[in-house]
A and B are shown apart, each in its own frame.
Chain A
Amino acid sequence: MECERLRELDSELALGVLSARERAEAVAHLDRCPDCREHVERLTAVGDGLLALLPGAEPPVGFESRVARALGAPPAPKRHRRLRLAAAAAAAALACGFGGWAIGTAVEAAPPQVSQVTDAGLREAALVSDGHEVGRIHAHTGDEAWVYMSVDLDGIGRGPVRCLLVHADGSTVPVGSFPLKDGYGYWGGPTPTDPATVTGVRLIGPNGNILATADFPTS
């Protein structure tokens, strides 16, 4: 497919209504043509904008609790499986319109990065113990700074564990403590210091020992 043909199909591609064959040919062209890719990406804003105009509607009574129950299914009992659930979920593609989410391209399963800045205000890092990932921490920077973490620590039982944010100079700021259940726990809360200024995290056990650490990427 050449640029001229692609431009004839640009809107149908952007709105996600091309036939499978035409779509495959168009996407193959976009893979090697940055100009057409940018052009179609701009058009996808029209489709996204249309969907944003759809009026909200109140679902039937009981919907919220039914869905929440379905989502709150107890995690699988096998240890460490819990932390892998979300990463494994990345193996499946979310087929949407061309420029929408995931662009209909298969997203391969990949181990989570040790740390990353996911957007301007959200930082994410692995909590590591003895070289193994035992949890993840997410920190949102800015005026309403907060942290959220989940950990799965063998042999710690009920905890509690304390969370310290670590500054570059080695000073620490406690942000809270939380209990575990069979070594597993998740917790979140506001922080007294902006996570943008910290370089890492320590989780401290009941005996004062360091259970896990995380390093944020330096920005």
Chain B
Amino acid sequence: MWRMGLSLGRVPDEALLTGLTTGDPELAVAFVRRFQRTVFGVALAVTGDPQLAEDVAQQTFERAWRHAQVYDPRRGSVRSWLTAIAHNLAIDAVRARRARPVAPEELDALLGAVTETPERRALADDSAERVRRAVAGLPREQARALVMAGIYGMTAREVAAAEDIPLGTAKTRIRTGTLKVRALLEATERR
């Protein structure tokens, strides 16, 4: 019912989310089309299983639809809200399926994906690239611990078991990695 010729491609994210609750199929398609790559990408990265990722992605959109009223633009963008929903659902789905949250080869591949800096992005200075550079600058064991906790949702105890290190060491790696990235981000934000 977008009757005045406003292209749905130009409708702000918040408006699409609002429109989603009405059951308008045109708005639903536009909403899914806009965010499906992001949502499926998060689900696939965490689960490593395309079929499970598809289930998680679908649940993410259904949850967003049911809880659209909870969305608060002051807390962040619609995209980051959907990302958070997909991330939590993906972690739950993985935990329900297997005891070990992540295979080592999957971790290495993901760590490479989040720290690589393609030439086209090398000069970018947006928030994502600052995080990317900060993570890439961490000692590898700290970056691994940070990705295990922050992306795969692994507890310090699970990180310790996966890396075959004492619990205290796992906690220190997670904490040191997080604080270093935060410090680097704040340093670049102040410039």
Hey, which bits of chain A sit against chain B, CB under 8 A?
Answer: 8, 10-12, 14-19, 42-43, 45-60, 63-75, 82, 85-87, 89-90, 92, 94-97, 100-102, 107, 112, 118-119, 122, 138, 140, 144, 146, 148, 150, 176, 178, 185-190
What residue in chain A is nearest B38 (Cβ atoms)? A56
Hey, which bits of chain B sit against chain A, CB under 8 A?
Answer: 1-6, 10-12, 14-15, 18-25, 28-29, 31-33, 36-38, 40-42, 44-45, 50, 53-54, 57-58, 61-63, 65-76, 80-81, 83-85, 87-88, 110, 113-114, 127-128, 130-132, 135, 146-147, 149-151, 153-156, 171, 174-175, 177-179, 181-182, 185-186
Interface of B is mostly: helix
A63 is contacted by which of B14, B36, B84, B175 (Cβ under 8 Å)?
A: B36
What residue in chain B is nearest A109 (Cβ atoms)? B69
**A73 neighbours in B (Cβ, 8 Å):** 23
Q: How far is the CA of A18 from the CA of B155 in the complex (A)?
A: 6
A56/B40 contact (C-beta < 8 A), A47-B150, A97-B84 known = yes
Instruction: Provide a sorted-by-A list of 24 A–B residue pairs whose CB atoms are within 8 angstroms.
Output: A8-B171, A11-B174, A16-B88, A45-B182, A46-B131, A47-B150, A52-B131, A53-B132, A56-B37, A57-B37, A59-B40, A64-B29, A68-B25, A69-B25, A72-B23, A72-B28, A73-B23, A97-B84, A138-B14, A138-B18, A140-B15, A189-B5, A190-B4, A190-B6
Q: How far is the CA of A73 from the CA of B23 in the complex (A)?
A: 6
CB distance from A136 to the nearest CB of B (A): 8
Contact across chains for B128 and A52 when beta carbons are under 8 A apart: yes
B69 is contacted by which of A15, A17, A57, A89 (Cβ under 8 Å)?
A: A89
- Most chain B beta-carbon neighbours within 10 Å: one of A56, A60, A65: A56
Contact across chains for A94 and B40 when beta carbons are under 8 A apart: no
Q: How far is the CA of A102 from the CA of B31 in the complex (A)?
A: 22
